[in-house]
Amino acid sequence: MNLETAREVPSLIKKQLQLRGDESLWKLERLRLGNGEPLTHEEIYLQKRFVPDLTKENAATSLFKMIEKNISIAYASQELEAVILEGKVSELLKSKPGEPTFLAHTTSYSADGYPVLHDESYYRSDKYSFHNILYRHH
């Protein structure tokens, strides 16, 4: 696990989080395990004002529980794509380079539609399946 103040924020993240100035962000990188086996690699950008006292220790527990002490998360927008594992992520997930995997780009929002965090997560395709309920916007 790695937790740090985000120094260079990619433009996609700035756009997804609707950053206007120099808002301070956490950058959290963590590996999620199931039965001791790596399943997901997460890279999360989170606005510090919602969890100013975030530490590695409490980030290892329920991140949403920490956030929701200050603001409720109501929904998320997620884009899922198939990609090929390479380099560091391949090593962390203990998968061979070139293996297919799922990459989820997720932005979570408060009830009033304010973006709280953005997450780029790699899910091992040999361990995950996704089920979605799709609603039409009218």
Phi, psi (rounded to 5 degrees) for 132: -125, 145
In Å, how far are 14, 20, 28, 50, 116 from 109, measured between CA atoms? 14, 17, 18, 12, 5
Q: What CATH code is carried by the domain that includes residue 118?
A: 3.40.1410.10
Q: What's the pLDDT tens digit per position in 63-114? A: 999 999 999 999 999 999 999 999 999 999 999 999 999 999 999 999 999 9
The reply to whether 7 falls in a domain is yes
Q: What's the pLDDT tens digit per position in 4-17? A: 999 989 999 999 99
- Cα(44)–Cα(46) distance, integer angstroms: 6
Q: How much is the pLDDT for 85?
A: 93
Find where tokens 């991140």 sit.
Answer: 63
The reply to whether 28 falls in a domain is yes
Tell me which residue of 23, 20, 26, 19 sits closest to 5, measured CA to CA: 26
Q: What's the pLDDT tens digit per position in 15-56? A: 999 998 888 999 999 999 999 999 999 999 999 999 999 999
What's the number of domains the chain is made of?
1
Q: How much is the pLDDT for 110?
A: 94
Query: The tokens of 133 are what?
Result: 């309920």
The reply to whether 33 falls in a domain is yes
The reply to whether 137 falls in a domain is no
The reply to whether 130 falls in a domain is no
Domain that holds residue 56: 2-124
- Cα(81)–Cα(119) distance, integer angstroms: 14
| Cβ-based burial of 107 (10 A; exposed 0-12, middle 13-18, buried ≥19) | buried
The reply to whether 108 falls in a domain is yes
Task: Look up residue 115 and give its amino acid.
Answer: P
